[in-house]
Structure formats: structure tokens, C-alpha cells
Amino acid sequence: MKLKSPSSSTTIIFIFSISITIHLSSSESLLINSTCKAMAADSPNIKYGFCATSLQAAPASSCASTRGLATIAIRALRYNVTDTRCFIKQLLRRRGWEPYAKQCLGDCFDLYSDAIPTVRQAMKYYNERRFDDANVQLSSVMDAATTCEDGFADGDGVVSPLTKRNADAFQIGAMALSVVGMIRTGSG
């Protein structure tokens, strides 16, 4: 029984150091906060809370520079569209879709399938400091999310199962666009 005490004190130290880490990472995100504030002021498509939450959630973001935050935003966009493509694939396997809804889902699947290599290309251009080319790619991913959602809206009484995901992809795309813009103009 005595043997247990070292391991439990190790556990306590471990938990203690985790809580210090959590505390530091939430207070050290001054750059995330100020960048998100600037982005929200710059673009009506970006909400401060969404921006701060999604950047803070990314690994190593609390120590990132503005250039790092651009990489993080583009990467977050890639994760988002990749996940949504997979989600649509699962939805398409279900039976009982109205033909119109099924057609919309199929269109969205194609749009999101194309969006994945487009985000990769955006990252490549960004790394090559070809900022205008990166922006064209990022805008086209935002357009894909809008086009997907609009398809459902055009159908009579068809409810989009992708509204939140499309809005998220659109907003992260806007964030990536905005932070790349800051770097391009040297204001970041």
C-alpha cells in the first residue's frame, strides 16, 4: 500500500502542471485576441468570439506569430473542409433523401472534394509568399461553401443539413483571407 504514495503525488504534480499550462495558454494569447479584434473590425464575416475560440484551439497557437496564425487558419480550413467532405459522404449513404436534397448533397460533395486540393494550393502559395494567388484559392473555398448552402436554399422546403458547416468553412476562410491580407500589407 505504501508503494502507492509516490505515484499519487506524481499524479498531483502532473495535474497541477496541466492546470498551469492551461492557465498560461489562455492568458498568453494576446496576439490572437488583438488579431481577431482587427479581423472582426475589418470584415463583417468574422466574429471575434469564433475567431478567438478557433485559433486558441489550434496546437501551439498561443506562441504563434502573425505569420504562424495565417498558417494555423489555413490549416484549420483544410481540417474543416476535409471533415465536412467526409460527413457529406456519410449522409449520402443514408436512404430516404428527397431527390432534390440528394442532388444538393451530391453537388456539395463535389464542391468540398475540390476544396481540399484548393486549400492545399492556398497553403503552398502562402508559403511562397504569393499572397494574391493564395487569396484567390481561399476565396474559391469560401465560394464553394456558399454555393453548397445556396443549392439547398433554392429548393422548396428543403432543409440544409450543412448550414453550420458551410458557415464555419466560410468564416474560417474569411479569417485566413484576412490574416494573409495583414501579412501582405505588413500590418501584421
Ligand X SMILES: *[C@@H]1O[C@H](CO)[C@@H](O)[C@H](O)[C@H]1NC(C)=O
Question: Which residues bind to ligand X, rule: CB under 6 A?
Answer: 26-27, 29-30, 33, 52, 54, 57, 76, 79-80, 83-84, 165, 168, 172
Q: Which CB, 82 or 103, lies closer to ligand X?
A: 82
CA distance 182 to 188: 5
Q: Which CB, 26 or 163, lies closer to ligand X?
A: 26
Residue nearest to ligand X (CB): 54
Q: Supply the minimum distance, in Å, between the C-beta of residue 8 and ligand X.
A: 32
With contact defined as beta carbons under 8 Å apart, do 92 and 102 qualify?
Answer: yes
- Determine phi and psi for 68, rounding to 5 degrees: -65, -40
Q: Supply the minimum distance, in Å, between the C-beta of residue 11 and ligand X.
A: 28
Residue 22's identity, in one-letter code, is I
Number of residues assigned to the chain: 188
Give how far Cα 66 sits from Cα of 3, 78, 153, 188, Å. Answer: 49, 19, 37, 6
Burial class (CB in 10 A: 0-12, 13-18, 19+), 116: middle
Q: Which CB, 47 or 130, lies closer to ligand X?
A: 47
Q: Which CB, 68 or 100, lies closer to ligand X?
A: 68
Q: Supply the minimum distance, in Å, between the C-beta of residue 29 and ligand X.
A: 5
CA distance 153 to 16: 50
Q: Supply the minimum distance, in Å, between the C-beta of residue 84 and ligand X.
A: 5
Q: Supply the minimum distance, in Å, between the C-beta of residue 80 and ligand X.
A: 4
